Structure 1
């Protein structure tokens, strides 16, 4: 079952969010107090993993206070889920209306009989609605009227629609806990966990994960035999928590040990590489954040890590940059079986390879406004996007007055600038002085840069390698942005494929293919200390020189990959020896000149397909 999106109305500073489409992973980017949390809280109450409801006294918009008396029955949130083929079949089997047995059809008359005379729909949607003063309603669209028993269908939807899991408070001190005092605090709030501190709630989660009953655990501690049994309980619990944490934390191997002395509980964490246990509260804030997130998520999904919609408030805020990158990788893994929505104001938590995941949260007349995409008219959310793209200071404003060509990386920019300078010095055509090269971080990231440039209405374009990654980037740029622009706007963005621009007959063509194969092979040999010959390069497969060389390195020399950065270092040494265009390797000048003529021509005239 796939979560398609949601809408929030009449909730705090959200008068009407409009429909917000959701991806498997969706990032809500915005400043503090813009309303990101309000969107998540309203959505969570729609189908929560734990009890949660709306409170008119707290949640009705303040600036509509005069309508509060008539607020009961007003819609707060709705969401859509689309069913898979298996879901549709399961729903039909559960809720199909029994049909009367015909004369020529002896046997059962229930769902199985109906199935013989009814073709299942290809598309079915479950819509959830919740209003002030009422529980969530479930409605199903896609089946012909009368095919399903309405009550059975709603019961199936209620039981099978993924639950929302809202994780916003991750902090966990890791300090020791007196279990008898914890029990007393729990009793004082009538067993309502949500009224306890987040620290207490997390400890109870740990006990739940370990399948430990707090009352039973304390009782066992009152006798020697009970304490012996309890020691086995905590060992089993420690092992379970270690295994669950390992599913989400890949930076290093860590083992947890729950230690109980009387009523006192301590949690130790031991890095396997070090072999010395350390009390959890001595570990870094970022590590404790990850522990809290991992165990809360484990608890919410029953240890299966699947079939829920995760709502995460500012995940990774305590993590180092590399930890945040790792967390995005965790999201990618979890998204195979879950939907993940998260808020952030961190540039490093915006995945440049997926601009389609971004929703910008704006404050419009003190109310929430949601923009799908990576361009906002407001400075605060745009600061996050600009920082993620490497723009600093007033650079964005400067580029808006230039013609901007996005290239796949810094190496592309260095090579093009070097070749352009030599060609211009020789009286040949180089890159126009008005065109600014803006390096992305690989082909997969160029759609993010393209979306920003198009959204800012820059006079811009993108230069892509003619390979699989470049073609995928071209398709995404067109689908997400260019195809949706008015014709006059389309003319201000160009997509240039490097192979065609250079006049090459190669099927695949990258920036390194501007040079003859021998030049690149010589640079590889100098880098790796090898003696690869042109005859060693494979004839079949990709005709890009980097792919050919990588095949030789893997198949003959046992390398796992071609380190392009190392080879580029050797190429730069060669660049330093070139003082005129005549120093360039054979055919390089002519290929490069064709590329620059293509680029300059594209920017001199309105862009075309």
Structure 2
């Protein structure tokens, strides 16, 4: 099953988040104290793998404190889950109401076919456990009895099959030595509620559970020679298993773990294969220790299968090097085939430019309540600073762009589209834009020469990609008039001017970024954006082959309206969300994009 959307209400600074759509990998972007943690903590309680619950004394919104007395029964987390192949049928088979004849003999249950669009709805409120219900696509309740199902059996099936939420938010796991007898005392004092212990203690308990080690038994074995020998086998088996699980997620280097117990004292050692010497885990970097905690908690929650979970990760790359952050995004991509991954970040390097549709921006309103924006556009400067930084628009560009090959494009839309296409091509082992080339969007083609001059002045290894239209030709002429290429040559830094139509091999007189796609597809996006039914034959022939220009003229003639590409981009991004492989792209798009990226890579002298 997959989490498809969720809503949080009545929780700390969240009065009503609105319905938030989840993708296989979702990045929650926002400034500190905006409410990202609150969002995850509230959602986690919906179906956590460690029993947790809401506490109105701490969790009810402070600016509605009088309402706390009526908190019981008020919803906090609500979510929809989509059934995977065969899952709805499995639910119906499990939950079918038993039928008996007149003599009380059980008959074979008559199992209905699940209706189209059936979804599983989950809700948790203050003072109550999570309830599971069946809804249609419009959010209407479908009573289980109407489907000849048992309410109790539906809930029983849901508890077992709805993906468990795994929340990783702390970096406190030190891996320092632990006295097992003292750990047992703390656990007993908490009444066995491990989630009330420290992160260190929780993680050690997870390690012991994964290793199938009983605390009392392990300590008792240390009292005899035979027991200590048996304990050695337990430790080695556990160490090998934890090493194997960690290696599935950590791509930086090969590491081997060793659980060591001397009497009641437990230590965990980590040994790099290249060095060959064990080091206590608390001596390793914070980022490494976070990764260890993540790997082992995920192993525990998924029972070692790394599947059927919804991962909620807070600032996962904050202690990792840039290469580690990129590796982590790759791990998320791999895990997303069998899990839903959601993470918060304020790091531009943790925003995947190839998938802008995955971004959700957290804002705060005038009353400091959380609100959510889908996509990469926000009216507030703080969250947008992350997106701008990801696109290279930083106050001091030299640090981000100066050490890279920089390709200036005409705008943010161009950068988003090219990044998406490049990501899809690379995922299918086709040629995408080289990782060495950074897209830097100018605001318009008329400003591209200024960006070009800045890049040359900073002695960057740079180039510009211009539309093959009047504005693009004018920008190229201006760059030529400024003699930028000659200046770049003098300083030993090359500058390239690429025209989109020629580079992509698109057989049109005029070519803009949307002309990488079939005209029919772009027109369909326009029709959806404006509620129209325009056909290609309705578009005028004005001497230009630019689909956007032809649409703009038709729109002006028929409705007196201007074409706003931002409106069309919204519809384009909706389609982007469903594209997971190049065969999903409109016909001819992949070939156009691959030709373009090959040409750009070659211009910068990098291998495709």
TM-score normalized by structure 2?
A: 0.69
Q: What's 1:569 paired with?
A: 605
Q: Which residue of 112, 118, 123 maps to 1:124?
A: 118
Deviation at 1:236, TM superposition (A): 0.6
Return closer, same or farther for 1:569/1:258 CA change in 2, 3 Å cut-off. same
- Quick one: structure 1 residues 462 and 137, their matched pair in 2 at CA, closer, same or farther if it must change by over 3 Å? farther
The structural deviation recorded for 1:150 is 2.6
Query: Does structure 2 retain, via aligned residues, the 8 Å contact 1:11–1:61?
Result: yes
The separation in 2 between residues aligned to 1:73 and 1:418, in whole angstroms, is 58
Structure 2 CA distance for partners of 1:216 and 1:464, relative to 1, 3 Å: same
Task: Find the aligned partners of 1:507 and 1:5 in 2 and give their Cα distance.
Answer: 30
SS of 2:86's partner is helix
The one-character-per-residue Cα deviations of 1:365-411 (angstroms, maximum 9, x if unpaired) are: 2101111111111111001111011111299xxxxxx9778365669
Query: Which stretches in structure 2 are left out of the alignment for 5+ residues?
Result: 137-141, 398-409, 419-432, 440-451, 453-461, 481-495, 501-510, 532-554, 556-560, 570-587
Pair 1:479–1:267, CA change in 2 (3 A): farther
Correspondence 1:382 to 2:384: yes
Q: SS in structure 2 opposite 1:406?
A: helix
Distance 1:506 1:325 in 2: 27
Q: Secondary structure at the match of 1:58?
A: helix
Paired residue secondary structure (1:343): strand
The root-mean-square deviation of aligned C-alpha atoms, in Å, is: 3.9
Deviation (angstroms), 1:268: 1.5
Take 1:479 and 1:165, find their aligned partners in 2: how far apart are those partners? 40
Secondary structure of 1:375's aligned partner: coil
Decide whether the 8 Å contact of 1:405 with 1:462 is kept in 2: no
What corresponds to 2:280 in structure 1?
A: 279
State the partner residue of 1:450: none
Deviation sequence 1:516-546 (CA, Å, 0-9, x none) = xxxxxxxxxxxxxxxxxxxxxxxxxxxx9x5
In 2, Cα distance between equivalents of 1:169 and 1:155 = 32
**Distance apart, 1:355 and its partner CA:** 0.9
What is the aligned partner in structure 2 of residue 449 from structure 1? Answer: none
Q: Tell me the distance in 2 between the aligned counterparts of 1:137 and 1:300.
A: 21
Q: CA deviation at 1:287?
A: 1.3
Deviation at 1:133, TM superposition (A): 1.7
1:486-530 per-position Cα deviation (integer Å, ceiling 9, x unaligned): 8756444699xxxxxxxxx999556978xxxxxxxxxxxxxxxxx
The yes-or-no answer on 1:12 pairing with 2:12 is: yes
TM-superposed deviation, 1:51 = 1.1
Match of 1:298 in 2: 299
CA contact under 8 A between 2:467 and 2:512: conserved in structure 1? no
C-alpha displacement at 1:126, in angstroms?
A: 1.0
Partner of 2:75: 75
Which position in structure 2 is the counterpart of 1:458?
Answer: none
Measure how far apart 1:192 and its partner are.
2.5
Q: Supply the distance in 2 between the matched residues of 1:127 and 1:8 (Cα, whole angstroms).
A: 14
Query: Counterpart in 1 of 2:211?
Result: 210
Write the distance in 1 (CA, Å) between the matches of 2:118 and 2:528. Answer: 28
Give the superposition deviation at 1:276. 2.0
C-alpha spacing 1:358/1:101, structure 2 compared with 1 (3 Å):
same
Residue 146 of structure 1, CA deviation:
4.4
The equivalent residue for 1:173 is: 174
Offset at 1:356?
1.0
Partner Cα separation in structure 2 for residue 338 and residue 378 of structure 1: 31
Which stretch has the larger CA shift, 183-192 or 130-139?
183-192
- What is the correspondence of 1:192-231 to structure 2 with a 5 Å cutoff? 192-231=193-232
Once residues 58 and 250 of structure 2 are traced to their aligned partners in structure 1, the CA distance between those partners, rounded to angstroms, is 37
Q: Please, which moves more after superposition, 153-162 or 250-259?
A: 153-162
CA apart distance, 1:187: 2.9
Q: Distance in 1 between matches of 2:206 and 2:170?
A: 13
After superposition, where does 1:22-61 map in structure 2 within 5 Å?
22-61=22-61
Counterpart among 384, 388, 392 of residue 394 in structure 2: 392
Counterpart residue number, 1:182: 183
C-alpha contact 1:46 1:130 (8 A) present in aligned 2:
yes
In 2 relative to 1, CA 341–404 (structure 1 residues): closer, same or farther, beyond 3 Å? closer
Where structure 1 has 5 or more consecutive residues not aligned to the other structure, the ranges are 396-401, 444-460, 496-504, 514-543, 548-563, 572-609
- SS of the aligned residue for 2:8 comes to strand
**1:463 equivalent among 491, 513, 516:** 513
Q: State whether residues 78 and 130 of structure 1, in contact with CA within 8 Å, keep that contact through their aligned partners in structure 2.
A: yes
Partner of 1:456: none
Residue 274 (structure 1) shift: 2.2
Q: Is the 8 A contact 2:99 2:106 kept in 1?
A: no
Q: How does 1:90-169 map to 2 (within 5 A)?
A: 90-98=90-98, 109-111=107-109, 114-115=110-111, 118-142=112-136, 145-169=146-170
Q: Is 1:358 aligned to residue 394 of structure 2?
A: no
Q: 1:156 to 1:404 in 2, by over 3 A?
A: closer
- Displacement after TM superposition at 1:22 (Å): 0.7
Deviation for aligned residue 1:312: 1.2
Deviations 1:402-456 (A, max 9, x none): 9778365669986657999xx99xxx86637599xxx9xxx9xxxxxxxxxxxxx
For 1:184 and 1:403, locate their aligned partners in 2 and report how far apart those are by CA, in whole Å: 61
> TM (normalized to structure 1)?
0.69
Cα displacement (A) at 1:23: 0.8
Alignment match, 2:370: 368
CA separation of 1:93/1:220 partners in 2, compared to 1, >3 Å: closer, same or farther? same
Whole-Å separation in 1 of the counterparts to 2:343 and 2:54: 21
Going from structure 1 to structure 2, the CA distance change for 1:221 and 1:79 (only over 3 Å counts) comes to same
Aligned partners of 1:308, 1:411: CA distance in 2, in Å?
A: 34
Any conservation in 1 of the 2:164–2:301 contact (CA below 8 Å)? no
How far residue 483 of structure 1 moved from its aligned partner, in angstroms, is: 4.7
Name the SS for the 1:3 alignment partner: strand
Relative to structure 1, the CA distance from residue 254 to residue 464 in structure 2 (aligned partners, 3 Å threshold; closer, same or farther) is farther
Q: Does 1:431 align with 2:467?
A: no
Query: Residue 414 of structure 2 is aligned with which of 406, 414, 438?
Result: 406
Shift of 1:167: 1.5
Question: Contact 1:77/1:131 (CA < 8 Å) preserved in 2?
Answer: yes
